[in-house]
């Protein structure tokens, strides 16, 4: 059975939600502009957010909860990329 396809408008919406989440984090979270110290810190933060997403899935928390948890993962991933490209993060 073929899966339904993700539409271009679905992708545009997802990109907008990702950008909004990251912008909100930068404006509202103390220390959000700080570079992650290392890959180990990134791993810990991503695992924490993944665990929260997993908990929401297992709790059948609903669409909005899953979107929120995925936005949290996206924020950490985007800031991780920004931290790596800053050349200030220890990636050795």
Question: What pLDDT digit, counting tens, does each position of 49-63 carry?
Answer: 999 999 999 999 999
How many other β-carbons are positioned within 10 Å of the β-carbon of residue 74? Answer: 19
Please tell me the predicted confidence (pLDDT) of residue 15: 96
Give the number of residues written for the chain. Answer: 92
CA angle 19, 22, 24 (to 5 degrees): 105
Q: The tokens of 54 are what?
A: 């997993």
Query: What pTM did the predictor assign?
Result: 0.89
Domain extents in the chain: 16-24+36-85
Confidence of residue 90 (pLDDT cuts 50, 70, 90): confident
Give the pLDDT band (50/70/90) at residue 21: very high
Phi, psi of 90 (to 5 degrees): -80, 110
Question: Contact at 8 Å (CB) between 33 and 86?
Answer: no
């Amino acid at each position: 059975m073929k899966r339904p396809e993700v539409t271009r408008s679905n992708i545009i919406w997802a990109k907008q939600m990702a950008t909004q989440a990251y912008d909100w984090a930068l404006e509202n979270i103390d220390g959000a502009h700080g570079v992650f110290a290392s890959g180990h810190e990134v791993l810990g933060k991503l695992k924490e957010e993944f665990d929260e997403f997993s908990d929401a899935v297992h709790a059948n928390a609903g669409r909005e909860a899953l979107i929120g948890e995925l936005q949290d993962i996206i924020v950490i991933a985007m800031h991780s990329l920004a931290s790596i490209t800053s050349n200030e993060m220890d990636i050795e």
